[in-house]
Amino acid sequence: MKEHTIKSQEDLFRLLDSQFKPSTHFWDPFYSDRERKVPFFNNKPDENLVSYVHTGMIQRGRVLELGCGPGRNALFLGANGFDVEAVDISQVAIDWAKERAAELSLDVQFKCQSVFELSPINEYDLIYDSGCMHGLLPHRRIQYLKMIHDGLKSGGYFGLTCFAPGFGGLGGPEFELSDWDVYEERGMRGGLAFTEEKIRYLLSDNFECIELRMMKEMDKDSERFGVPFLWTSLWRKK
């Protein structure tokens, strides 16, 4: 009886979760085919993350990456002297990331774990998300943003890369789907797109914006990852 009785916020979250397919049903098969023509399967870090490191916008410290996939950003940070922990909900992706780390002799801690199982308190100098938030159901965003704020040290940084609307032909959503639409349609059409206004609305109360721009497009021969349908942004905890 108690399993179907709402008493807490988490009970409500689980009820809303139950209206959608578990995300692992998508991500494990997605990462199983390593030959799939997906730009972020290549072991290249985000161009904005490289910029943050090389220009000194962020300093070496303890990092948590959310939704790390096969580990391309975590491995870059590890190779540049950061102490890195990285999580993803897909065990297939984590296994791939661990293989890459072993090949490069890098000590990066990869773990198959939901971001909603994390409860860090003032632990990290940087929390980085390249494509996690835009795949979350809107009600879970409440828990997600609180976890990031609580997990950062005072003055710590949050790096966010997410879909911008209007680029359906290039791999991103064609338009911004409202949070209300998600529940009416019971789906997110492959991920949510965010306008600049919405990103600032979600983050500005608790974070100071250091940089917010579109990702720069990188050619196939570049050592950096960059596609023109993603926002990139860096925020400092207030």
- pTM greater than 0.85 (yes/no): yes
Q: What's the total number of domains in the chain? A: 1
Confidence of residue 172 (pLDDT cuts 50, 70, 90): low
Q: Does residue 189 surpass a pLDDT of 90?
A: no
**pLDDT of res. 169:** 46
Q: What is the helix (H) or strand (E) element at residue 125, kind and residue range?
A: strand 124-130
Rounded to whole angstroms, the Cα distance separating 99 from 14 reads: 33
71 within some domain? yes
pLDDT in the model for residue 231 = 96
Instruction: Give me the torsion for CA of 39, 44, 46, 48, rounded to 10°.
Output: -130
Percent share of the chain, pLDDT over 90:
84
Residue 31 lies in a domain: no
Q: In this structure, are residues 195 and 165 in contact, taking their beta carbons and an 8 Å threshold? A: yes
- Asked whether residue 80 is assigned to any structural domain, the reply reads yes
Residue 101 has pLDDT above 80, yes or no: yes
Residue 59 lies inside a defined structural domain of this protein: yes
pLDDT digits over 127-145, tens only? 999 999 999 999 999 999 9
Backbone region of residue 172 per phi and psi (left: phi > 0; alpha: psi in -120 to 50; beta: other values):
beta
pLDDT at 23: 80
Between 171 and 235, the higher pLDDT residue:
235
Listed residue (181, 123, 119) closest to 144, CA to CA: 119
Distance in angstroms (rounded) separating the CA atoms of residues 28 and 103 = 22
Q: Which pLDDT band, with edges at 50, 70 and 90, does 174 fall under? A: low
Instruction: Pick 235 or 188 by higher pLDDT.
Output: 235
The mean of the pLDDT values for the chain is: 93
* Contact partners, residue 120, CB within 8 Å, separation at least 6: 64, 147, 150, 151
Q: Residue 1 has what pLDDT?
A: 55
Q: What is the DSSP letter of 59?
A: -
For 187, the domain range is 43-237
Residue 22: inside a domain, yes or no? Answer: no
Indicate the helix (H) or strand (E) that contains 154: strand 152-163
- Both tokens of 157, joined, read 């940084």
Q: What is the pLDDT of residues 190-228, one digit of tens each?
A: 889 999 999 999 999 999 999 999 999 999 899 999 999
CB-count exposure of residue 55 (10 Å: 0-12, 13-18, 19+): exposed
In this predicted structure, the answer to whether residue 3 has a pLDDT above a threshold of 80 is no
3-state secondary structure of 107: coil
Residue at 75 is within a domain: yes
Q: Quick one: pLDDT at residue 38?
A: 87
Q: pLDDT at position 146, please?
A: 97
Question: Has residue 46 got a pLDDT over 70?
Answer: yes
Q: For the domain that residue 59 is a member of, what is the CATH number?
A: 3.40.50.150
Q: Is residue 11 part of a domain?
A: no
In a domain, 8, yes or no: no
The answer to whether residue 25 scores a pLDDT higher than 60 is yes
Q: Which of 27-36, 91-100, 151-160, 173-182 has the lowest mean pLDDT?
A: 173-182
